[in-house]
Amino acid sequence: MSHTQITMYGTQWCSDCKRTKQFFGEQRVHYDFIDIDSDAEGLAIVQRVNGGKHIIPTLVFGDGSTLVEPSNAELAAKLGLQTKAKRTFYDLIVVGSGPAGLTAALYAAREGIDTLVIERGGVGGQAGVTERLDNFPGFPDGVSGNEFADRLRRQAERFGVEILSAQEVTGVGVDGDYRSVRTVDGEEYRAWAVLLALGSTYRRLGIPGEEDFIGAGVHFCATCDGPFYRGREVLVVGGGNSAGEESLFLTKFASKVTIATHAPMLSASRVVVEKVEASPQIEVLSNVSPAAFRGEGHLEAVDLKDVQGGEMRTLHPAGVFVFIGLSPNTALVQELVETDERGFIVSSPTLETSAPGIFVAGDCRAGSTKQAASAAGEGAAVALAIRAYIQPRAGGTPRPELAAAMAPAGAS
Ligand SMILES: Cc1cc2nc3c(=O)[nH]c(=O)nc-3n(C[C@H](O)[C@H](O)[C@H](O)COP(=O)(O)OP(=O)(O)OC[C@H]3O[C@@H](n4cnc5c(N)ncnc54)[C@H](O)[C@@H]3O)c2cc1C
């Protein structure tokens, strides 16, 4: 997103500075950061803006205006983001604006279904924060996540989809024929149907440098980013099945894969462990845990700490892949719809959840493949199922061939 020049004055330790940085990161807004612990001129500016007081973060905009310790709502307003819907009733409300949510929304809106999308972060979901999508069909040279998200948003808006961002959904409900969605600012919106396209979150290590190097040497998806490391050495963090399987996959590209696990041995299944042990390209370092990622603009070094003795050592892999689990963003609907033991939402063949009129698509769905193209594919499929569900309620009747196509396999 382009915006006037923004300078944030803050410190590394201030939690509101971190929240503000995260907000700008999610909205893909560029800003300059001045650490007032090490910049006397920056400290003087903070004091001047705040009448001699030392309040951070202090934001100075290109037009000279300032915001001091702003809430996310104030930041959204300053950036001109739409956080409130124009009406209270829509045919369809989509929660989440990743590839699944936006594809469903644009399919639905193109069919005349009045659609509202509500997104808690920036539009585009995980795909939007990806450095580069190399395997999305139709982009022979790859596409930056930023551009991909922007294209999806523009395409959805062209068909009339209304999109709220920086607005979190805190509850979803069923009330007779209507479905309701509550947002963190206390609003409630209603619709005939709701699509949960909530995505999932790769668990992070939470160590210094991790956020800074995501997409610049730190990765969470081997299928997505492994091919960038052809002939180079990579480090895998984790010790379970996904760490083992993804390490084996990475040997197709990387010259060497080092697995770092904090446990004395890999906890993956025996079959996976045997394959790992048999691979001449894989080395396992046990009882170590990453302590920091370092570099200038791109990852250059990883500090590993011995979990028993505390000794430190430094490795210099070209890239790091972190596989310590994936959590679905489904906490808000755990009481409403059936989920599997890991919290992913269970669906029917027509992508409907256990709650009628509440549909699911993409990474938060049990059995999904956690790829942008498949999330978009599920978005298209669920939009057709939603159309068949909505039409009789909203006044129309579904075309017979559509109703047949949407019936579960084996149904007559
Ligand atoms: C760093 C990285 C690199 C990747 N690289 C690739 C790649 O190269 N190729 C590939 O195919 N895939 C890649 N992926 C995976 C791909 O991005 C995902 O599979 C895809 O984005 C899933 O789409 P989705 O719409 O299901 O969910 P998401 O993209 O996760 O979108 C879900 C959205 O829902 C929002 N949301 C969640 N809860 C709420 C709530 N309560 N209220 C409002 N909004 C909410 C989230 O903020 C998010 O924006 C990558 C992922 C990451 C993290």
- Which residue out of 17, 114, 224, 363 is catalytically annotated? 224
Average pLDDT value for residue range 127-145: 88
Q: Is 98 close to ligand 1, i.e. is its CB under 6 Å away? A: yes
Q: Is 199 close to ligand 1, i.e. is its CB under 6 Å away? A: yes
Phi, psi of 321, rounded to the nearest 5 degrees: -115, 125
pLDDT tens figures, 49-91: 999 999 999 999 999 999 999 988 889 989 999 999 999 999 9
In three-state secondary structure terms, 79 is: helix
- Which residue out of 225, 303, 306, 340 is catalytically annotated? 225
pLDDT tens figures, 287-333: 999 999 999 988 999 999 999 999 999 999 999 999 998 899 999 99
Q: Is 17 a catalytic residue?
A: no
What is the pLDDT, as a whole number, of residue 303? 98
Q: At CB < 8 A and 24+ separation, what contacts does 273-280 make?
A: 273/244, 275/244, 275/248, 276/244, 276/247, 276/248, 279/247, 279/248, 279/251
Using CB atoms within 10 A of its CB, is residue 65 exposed (0-12), middle (13-18) or buried (19+)?
exposed
CA–centroid distance, residue 125 to ligand 1 (Å) = 4
CA–centroid distance, residue 121 to ligand 1 (Å) = 11
* Atom number of ligand 1 nearest to Cα 101: 25
Whole-number Å distance between alpha carbons of 213 and 300 = 10
Evaluated on CA atoms 284, 258, 136, 132, the torsion sign reads: positive
Q: Is 225 a catalytic residue?
A: yes
Average pLDDT value for residue range 168-181: 95
What is the pLDDT, as a whole number, of residue 404? 54
Consecutive H or E run containing 66: strand 66-68
Mean pLDDT of the chain: 91
Phi, psi of 32, rounded to the nearest 5 degrees: -100, 140
Q: Is 130 close to ligand 1, i.e. is its CB under 6 Å away? A: yes
Average pLDDT value for residue range 354-382: 97
Q: What is the DSSP string of 212-236?
A: TTBTTTEES-HHHHGGGGTTSEEEE
**Could you identify the residue written with the tokens 């369809």?**
92
- Other CB atoms within 10 Å distance of the CB of residue 190: 17
pLDDT tens figures, 18-45: 888 888 878 888 889 999 999 999 999 9
Q: Is 85 close to ligand 1, i.e. is its CB under 6 Å away? A: no
> Which residue has the CA at smallest separation from atom 15 of ligand 1?
371
What is the pLDDT, as a whole number, of residue 409? 45
Percentage above 90 pLDDT, the chain = 76
Whole-number Å distance between alpha carbons of 70 and 113 = 37
Q: Are 324 and 318 contacting, i.e. CB atoms less than 8 angstroms apart?
A: no
> Which residue has the CA at smallest separation from atom 38 of ligand 1?
198
| pLDDT for 264 beyond 70 | yes
Q: Are 333 and 172 contacting, i.e. CB atoms less than 8 angstroms apart?
A: yes
Least Cα distance to 319 among 220, 238, 239 occurs for 220
- Which residue out of 17, 91, 114, 221 is catalytically annotated? 221
Consecutive H or E run containing 54: none
| pLDDT for 197 beyond 90 | yes
* Atom number of ligand 1 nearest to Cα 133: 8
Whole-number Å distance between alpha carbons of 33 and 18 = 11
Which of 139, 198, 200, 378 has most ligand 1 atoms within 8 Å of its beta carbon, as the pocket-test mutant? Answer: 198
Q: Is 125 close to ligand 1, i.e. is its CB under 6 Å away? A: yes
* Atom number of ligand 1 nearest to Cα 200: 30
Q: Helical H runs in 160-255?
A: 222-225, 241-250
Q: What is the dihedral of CA 210, 216, 218, 220, to 10 degrees?
A: 120
Q: Is 364 a catalytic residue?
A: no
> Which residue has the CA at smallest separation from atom 30 of ligand 1?
199
Whole-number Å distance between alpha carbons of 323 and 370 = 14
Whole-number Å distance between alpha carbons of 231 and 197 = 37
- Other CB atoms within 10 Å distance of the CB of residue 240: 17
